[in-house]
Amino acid sequence: MTLRWSPAMGRIGRGGTLVALALLTVLATRLPGTGDMEIWERWISNASRLGVLAGFAENAADYPPGASVVLWIAGLAGTALGWAPAAAIKLSLAGFLGATLVAFLAWTRRGAATFGLWATVLLNSVALGYLDIYTAPFLVLSVKALSETRHGWALTWFSVASLVKWQPGLIGPFLLLHVIGTARRPTREDARRVARLLAPSAALVGVVVLAFGTLPMAWAFARSMGHRSLSADALNLGWVITWLQQGATLGGDALFDRVVYLARAPLWMRLVTKALFLSQFVLVLWHYARRPADVNRTLAHALMGSLAYLIFNSGVHENHWFVPALLAVTLAARDAAWRVPALITGGFANLNLLLFYGFSGQGPGDSRVIGIDVTVPLAVLAVAFYVWMWRLLRRREGAYSSTRQ
């Protein structure tokens, strides 16, 4: 007898999958997370004690104020419901994950891609407690608006995301070039049109700067640029150089020990890695600007730009794979040729977190040393992956429509 998969069975299967994913997400809220959770609790305390505006200045952190606002709201909700601050933070992360998935599914109508997005970001967000997920719904809405030629909304949602964390700002140049129109010289009419489209974003940023203060925001941005490590536990070129520096400083045997990130790398080393990043980022922008704008081209080049930052810049942290991973899944939902790169990017994003912090936030410690710290060859593979992505991008150029969107 042949079994037939009826529509009713399909609905039951999808419902069961959703229930299982929801249960796993709830279970992830029970994990303690990394030591950053204590920082977020302190920010909630500052906002509760001083108010959200003065609390942001008191944080003296390297985040824009949006993250503090979301945490403040989570803290208020937690207090009203009798939750501990840590529980309120975890549930806010789960809420933003849910909002991201709903927005993504409603736009793409692709259940498999939505599941892939959940699997890609669950560890980063709900399990370990990083705040990157607070940017995700706004980034999804921005790309959705871009695909619908609603450029004003695309810029506005992008601005909201960038006011929560700085890393989404890497997408900005590609988004702006898309709106202006590439492969031709901009006209005065283009300038006036873009100015009108940017007006809501400029107003939003202006209000936030006035509310939270120019100096606190400037200091927050400066701190984000002032990390002195070559790599803050990120699988990238800086981590390979950190390993080599460890051997040069402590002797050859240290090359076979657990690699410990260098908190204060020499200035010349940091300048070299930053120059590599900037040269690659400008090259990606130039490559993008040579041909007409297309949503998939914009996503692909923004992905490469964010990978250039991740692989080559100094001071990059382990959770900074988030933006490339989100862009890769979004691109894969629109273009099947990017499914393998999306899987690899998501794999690196989660391996990076697992190898340094595990599921609980504590990490595997010395157990990751198997003859050599396994993070070193993985960092080399991450650099090789970037080179491979460049080749893929160049091959895909011919497949994109020459019609601007």
- What does the alpha-carbon distance between residue 225 and residue 315 come to, in Å, rounded to a whole number? 8
Domain that holds residue 232: 226-405
Does residue 387 fall inside a structural domain?
Answer: yes
Q: Which residues pair with 373 in a beta bridge?
A: 369
pLDDT grade for 313, boundaries at 50, 70 and 90: very high
pLDDT computed for residue 181 by the predictor: 82
Q: What is the pLDDT of residues 128-186, one digit of tens each?
A: 999 999 999 999 999 999 999 999 999 999 999 999 999 999 999 999 999 988 666 77
pLDDT grade for 4, boundaries at 50, 70 and 90: low
Q: What is the mean pLDDT of residues 349-373?
A: 88
The share of the chain scoring above pLDDT 90, in percent, equals 83
pLDDT grade for 53, boundaries at 50, 70 and 90: very high
More confident residue, 404 or 258: 258
- What does the alpha-carbon distance between residue 167 and residue 221 come to, in Å, rounded to a whole number? 11
Does residue 146 fall inside a structural domain?
Answer: no
* Residue 17 predicted with pLDDT over 80: no
Within 8 A by CB and 6+ apart from 403, the residues are 292, 294
- For 134-258, list the strands marked E by DSSP: 231-232
Does residue 333 fall inside a structural domain?
Answer: yes
Its pTM stands at 0.94
Mean pLDDT (the chain, rounded):
93
pLDDT grade for 405, boundaries at 50, 70 and 90: very low
Q: Which long-range contacts (CB under 8 A, 24 or more apart) does 105-110 make?
A: 107/140, 107/144, 107/147, 108/330, 108/333, 108/334, 110/333
pLDDT computed for residue 167 by the predictor: 97
Does residue 95 fall inside a structural domain?
Answer: no
Does residue 125 fall inside a structural domain?
Answer: no
Within 8 A by CB and 6+ apart from 240, the residues are 376, 379, 380, 383
Does residue 88 fall inside a structural domain?
Answer: no
Q: What is the pLDDT of residues 324-354, one digit of tens each?
A: 999 999 999 999 999 999 999 999 999 999 9
Percent composition of the chain: helix, strand, coil (DSSP 3-state, to 5): 75, 0, 20
More confident residue, 45 or 26: 45
Q: What is the pLDDT of residues 224-274, one digit of tens each?
A: 999 999 999 999 999 999 999 999 999 999 999 999 989 999 999 999 999
- Coil, helix or strand at residue 373: strand
pLDDT computed for residue 403 by the predictor: 42
Does residue 352 fall inside a structural domain?
Answer: yes
* Residue 1 predicted with pLDDT over 60: no
pLDDT grade for 286, boundaries at 50, 70 and 90: very high
Q: Do residues 324 and 305 touch, judged by C-beta distance below 8 A?
A: no
Does residue 362 fall inside a structural domain?
Answer: yes
pLDDT computed for residue 404 by the predictor: 44
Task: Give the count of domains, the chain.
Answer: 1
pLDDT grade for 14, boundaries at 50, 70 and 90: low
